[in-house]
Amino acid sequence: MDCNILFEDKHILVAVKPQGIPVQPDKTGDADLLSALENCCHQPLGLVHRLDRPVGGVMIFAKTKKAEAFLSKELQEGQLKKMYLTVLCGKLPQEKGILKDFLRKNTRTNLSEVVPEGAKGSKKAILQYARLGERETEYGCLTLAKITLFTGRHHQIRVQTSHAGVPIWGDKKYHPSFRKKGRTEIALWSYCLSGIHPETKEGFAFSALPEKEPFSLFLEEIGNL
């Protein structure tokens, strides 16, 4: 596996996760990003956050225990900001908006669902969306959207957009129309990660843009980010 490293110093490492591989070793035994990066930099790395296996994009790793503690606290306090690009099937109701739901994970199926507030085991989920473009295609209307997460719940973007009536293109877990199709890569990409450096305390922002279908339908909008 090629290590697409965007930045590295003595404290942090920032890399691009390819779609379709796990972040860390799992029961499949497939090659994973964390192990590949540790081989590249010849040291163990602290896993600060995760991306679902089908999702690609920018991730940050800690190279020291001090950096890991700092970044983990930053993530918990909402100062480590993650922004995503996604292609949705359908039209968003507004150019900009916020989705607030209560989600509950089903550990048996490894799926999450929207449940009423106060339901046992539920957690509040909040995201902000911005419509960047629309295209009429063979799949119907597709919408390019920027998503900013304010909470980090299991499958949050996937389940919230599906519940809002605009499921993600290629998502076989939460988009019924794709469940019986052949191999498709979900159109969800972590394109920007920003925060405070654990040692210098200076702000940072790292980005990487998606190129594959259906993002390729929106090259002009993506190029203007």
CATH number at residue 158: 3.30.2350.10
Partnered with residue 88 across adjacent β-strands are: 143, 168
pLDDT the model gives residue 138: 84
Residue 7 neighbours by CB under 8 Å, 6+ apart: 13, 14, 204, 206
pLDDT the model gives residue 167: 95
Total domains present in the chain = 1
Query: Which class for 143: exposed (0-12), middle (13-18), buried (19 or more C-beta within 10 A)?
Result: buried
- C-alpha to C-alpha distance for 135 and 216, rounded to whole angstroms: 11
Q: Biggest alpha carbon distance in the chain?
A: 50
Partnered with residue 99 across adjacent β-strands are: 127
pLDDT the model gives residue 181: 63
Given 26, 30, 32, 52, the catalytic residue: 52
Residue 21 neighbours by CB under 8 Å, 6+ apart: 1, 30, 31, 32, 33, 53
Q: What is the pLDDT along the chain (225 residues), one digit of tens a residue?
A: 788 999 999 999 999 999 999 999 888 888 899 999 999 999 999 999 999 899 999 999 999 999 999 999 999 998 999 999 999 999 998 999 999 999 999 988 989 999 999 999 999 999 999 999 999 988 899 999 999 999 989 999 999 999 999 999 999 889 887 766 655 689 999 999 999 999 999 999 999 999 899 999 999 999 998
- C-alpha to C-alpha distance for 169 and 180, rounded to whole angstroms: 13
Query: Which class for 188: exposed (0-12), middle (13-18), buried (19 or more C-beta within 10 A)?
Result: buried
Extended strands (E) in the chain: 5-8, 12-17, 46-47, 56-62, 81-89, 96-106, 111-115, 123-137, 140-149, 188-196, 203-207
- pTM over 0.75, yes/no: yes
Q: Would you give the end-to-end CA distance of the chain in angstroms?
A: 28
pLDDT the model gives residue 185: 81
Structural domain span for residue 38: 5-223
Count CB atoms within 10 A of the CB of residue 56. 25
**Catalytic: 52?**
yes
